[in-house]
Chains A and B, each alone.
Chain A
Amino acid sequence: QSVLTQPPSVSAASGQKVTISCSGSSSNIGSNFVSWYQQLPGTAPKLLIYDNNKRPSGIPDRFSGSKSDTSATLDITGLQPGDGADYYCATWDSSLIALVFGGGTKLTVL
């Protein structure tokens, strides 16, 4: 059971928008920054969003993040077939003294 809760799967049609949620608590999301990672099949994870809503260089603005209280959200607009991947949220947990990840969300682009 992951400390951060994500939906196991989401799906949407190509060109549409999808939202992936990440729910935590005051000791993790509530007091630290959230990052998001994309893991394409058979590859290592890649940083997608950091500091709740910032994008590393090279990440298109179709990807955006937000945080409110103890929850975070990843939005992907203009879905493309290549966006089909597993997405993970993560943050530091100040009580556990550990880096914690969500269980991951599998995105299917229809």
Chain B
Amino acid sequence: EVQLLESGGGLVQPGGSLRLSCAASGFTFGNYALSWVRQAPGKGLEWVAAVSTAGRTYYAESVKGRFTISRDKSRNTLNLQMNSLRAEDTALYYCARHPFWYIPATDQRVDYWGQGTLVTVSS
């Protein structure tokens, strides 16, 4: 059974940093591209960043230069380093798996989602 378990969320002050992790299990980690998708309270889904199996990364304009996505194949873990956090980064952050190893794909669906970890940026 595919499982994605996020951790690392919490309360941080504006301008601060936070590192999210996603522990993956139930599939061959190295064979799938992964993303972070966030959802602000009461709002819709917003894609944040993605990484292919080869380590190629893609970012939403809103986080480019502040967030860094990475993957650790030895630990089957997806990470998101978030720096210079702003109030508008407050959201539930989901770890998401794509069914292919590469990005971009004409079919960029998310076939599995984690349960999310909440990040709150506030003074």
Give A residues with C-beta under 8 Å from B. 2, 31-33, 35, 37, 39, 44-47, 50-51, 56, 86, 88, 90-92, 94, 96-104
Q: Are A92 and B106 in contact (CB under 8 A)?
A: yes
Query: Which residues of the partner chain A approach B116 to less than 8 Å between Cβ atoms?
Result: 44
Q: Are B109 and A33 in contact (CB under 8 A)?
A: yes
Q: Are A92 and B44 in contact (CB under 8 A)?
A: no
How distant is B36 from chain A, measured CB to nearest CB, in Å?
A: 10
| Distance, CA A56 to CA B2, complexed state (A) | 15
Q: A35-B110, A98-B60, A104-B45 are in contact. List 6 more A-B contacts (CB 8 A).
A: A31-B106, A35-B107, A35-B108, A45-B113, A46-B113, A98-B58
Number of residue pairs spanning A and B whose beta carbons lie under 8 angstroms apart: 71
For window 31-47 of B, CB contacts with A under 8 Å fall at 35, 37, 44-47
Give B residues with C-beta under 8 Å from A. 35, 37, 44-47, 50, 58, 60-61, 94, 104-111, 113-116
Q: Are B107 and A97 in contact (CB under 8 A)?
A: no
Query: Which residues of the partner chain A approach B50 to less than 8 Å between Cβ atoms?
Result: 99
Contact for B47 among A47, A50, A101, CB less than 8 A: A101
When C-beta atoms are compared, the residue in chain B nearest to A102 turns out to be B44
Q: Are B109 and A50 in contact (CB under 8 A)?
A: yes
How distant is B78 from chain A, measured CB to nearest CB, in Å?
A: 15
| Distance, CA A46 to CA B96, complexed state (A) | 11
| Distance, CA A94 to CA B106, complexed state (A) | 9
Contact for A44 among B46, B94, B111, CB less than 8 A: B94
